[in-house]
């Protein structure tokens, strides 16, 4: 049963959730870095792996929004905050989950892969995603107010009836919020169809169209890279959003990561899985509060606390004290 906001629970069941692309912001975690040395230390580690100053990139909006930098920057922010939380939390989390890219942060935090491997992996993932759509006019849009199946139907209709259209549901974020992804022709066709129903479709500013058929070349290349990286058993179960379930084998984890690139993120279903597992509190571990806001809109809301600023972290610790 979801708890009420700011209610103290004696022995809470906690899940850690990690944000994905779109959560980045110039100067993210800067306030925390003034109080916690783990922030800069983690970014320094990532910079050493990349051979570039990742902290400096986070102060430059144009570079930060290039997907091959966005992904390691968000990973570093999440793992830096996780390292702070590890020292503060008295209760071991029951589960972890991450939205799209955030799944790599979750797997790293759970001990499945090393931080250095995770940094290299997401940097390469970003490059592969960019290369997959080079020369293609692409787009994404958030559809508001329609049921999941209706959005899927509109995508199918656009693909079937509009010349050259490639579009599909990319993120099932919450009831009434589905992101669609594909080429510009396909997404534009879906936007028109959504508007004809009287609902809203908002174009998103993104550099690559995630979780759609256009990512299939990147998915195939990523599978080869994943095969060469050692994965360990998770210290904390990670609910992966490909099927909204915990994969128990390293092969299953890698397969879910591979498929995730070109298949939709089942975030609503992941949140429902956490509700079914009677999680009391979600802790958003990373930049911003996108996932905490989505948590309020789920069928069974679970109170969620962002942690990217000192005041937010203090509020969480007050609730857990």
What's the CA angle centered on 129, arms 125 and 131, to 5 degrees?
115
Q: Are residues 33 and 98 in the same domain?
A: yes
Q: Are residues 219 and 288 in the same domain?
A: yes
Domain assignment present for 107:
yes
Return per-residue pLDDT of the chain as tens, 321 residues: 444 455 667 789 999 999 999 999 999 999 999 999 999 999 999 999 999 999 999 999 999 999 999 999 999 999 999 999 999 999 899 999 999 999 999 999 999 999 999 999 999 999 999 999 999 999 999 999 999 999 999 999 999 999 999 999 999 999 999 999 999 999 999 999 999 999 999 999 888 999 999 999 999 999 999 999 999 999 999 999 999 999 999 999 999 999 999 999 999 999 999 999 999 999 999 999 999 999 999 999 999 999 999 999 999 999 998
Q: Are residues 70 and 202 in the same domain?
A: no
Query: What was the pLDDT predicted at 8?
Result: 65
Annotated active-site residue 211? The verdict is yes
Q: Are residues 53 and 157 in the same domain?
A: no
How many independent structural domains does the chain possess? 2
Cα-Cα-Cα-Cα dihedral sign, residues 103, 108, 110, 114: positive
Query: What is the C-alpha R_g of the chain?
Result: 19
Among 211, 153, 212, residue whose Cα is nearest residue 20: 211
Q: Are residues 194 and 315 in the same domain?
A: no
Which one is catalytic: 33, 100, 188, 287? 100
Query: What was the pLDDT predicted at 11?
Result: 85
Q: Are residues 191 and 228 in the same domain?
A: no
Which one is catalytic: 211, 219, 287, 304? 211
Q: Are residues 268 and 176 in the same domain?
A: no
Q: Any bridge partners for residue 181, and if so which?
A: 140, 168
Domain assignment present for 5:
no
Query: What was the pLDDT predicted at 7?
Result: 60
Answer yes or no: pTM beyond 0.85: yes
Q: Are residues 188 and 284 in the same domain?
A: no
Of 182, 207, 232, which residue constitutes the final position of a domain? 207
Q: Are residues 192 and 219 in the same domain?
A: no
- The answer to whether the beta carbons of residues 283 and 307 sit under 8 Å apart is yes
Among 287, 76, 300, residue whose Cα is nearest residue 175: 300
Q: Are residues 174 and 229 in the same domain?
A: no
Q: Domain limits at 48?
A: 14-132+214-320
Domain assignment present for 177:
yes
- Residue 188: which CATH number? 3.30.70.250
Tell me how far the alpha carbon of residue 222 is from its chain's centroid: 17
Q: Are residues 290 and 310 in the same domain?
A: yes
Q: Which residue bears the tokens 């998103």?
A: 204
Q: Are residues 125 and 254 in the same domain?
A: yes
- Residue 89: which CATH number? 3.40.366.10
């Amino acid at each position: 049963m979801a708890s009420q906001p700011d209610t103290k629970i004696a022995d809470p069941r906690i899940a850690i959730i990690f944000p994905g692309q779109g959560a980045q912001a110039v100067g993210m975690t800067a306030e925390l870095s003034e109080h916690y040395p783990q922030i800069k230390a983690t970014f320094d580690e990532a910079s050493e792996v990349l051979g570039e100053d990742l902290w400096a990139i986070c102060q430059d909006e144009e570079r930060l929004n290039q997907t091959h930098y966005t992904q390691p920057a968000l990973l570093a922010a999440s793992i830096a905050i996780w390292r702070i939380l590890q020292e503060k939390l008295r209760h071991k989390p029951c589960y972890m989950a991450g939205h799209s890219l955030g799944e790599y942060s979750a797997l790293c935090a759970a001990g499945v892969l090393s931080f250095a491997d995770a940094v290299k992996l997401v940097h390469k993932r970003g490059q592969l995603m960019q290369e997959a759509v080079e020369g293609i006019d692409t787009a994404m849009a958030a559809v508001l107010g329609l049921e999941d199946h209706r959005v899927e139907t509109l995508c199918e209709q656009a693909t079937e009836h509009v010349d050259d259209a490639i579009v599909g549901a990319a993120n099932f974020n919450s009831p009434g919020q589905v992101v669609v992804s594909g080429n510009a022709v396909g997404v534009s066709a879906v936007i028109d169809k959504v508007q004809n129903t009287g609902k809203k479709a908002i174009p998103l500013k993104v550099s690559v169209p995630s979780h759609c058929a256009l990512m299939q070349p990147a998915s195939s290349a990523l599978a080869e890279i994943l095969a060469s990286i050692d994965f360990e058993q998770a210290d904390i179960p990670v609910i992966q959003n490909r099927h909204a379930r915990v994969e128990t084998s390293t092969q299953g984890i890698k397969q879910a990561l591979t498929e995730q690139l070109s298949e939709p993120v089942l975030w609503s279903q992941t949140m429902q899985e956490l509700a079914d597992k009677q999680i009391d509190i979600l802790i958003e571990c990373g930049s911003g509060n996108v996932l905490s806001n989505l948590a309020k809109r789920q069928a069974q809301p679970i109170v969620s606390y962002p942690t990217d600023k000192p005041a937010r972290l203090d509020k969480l610790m007050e609730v857990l004290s």
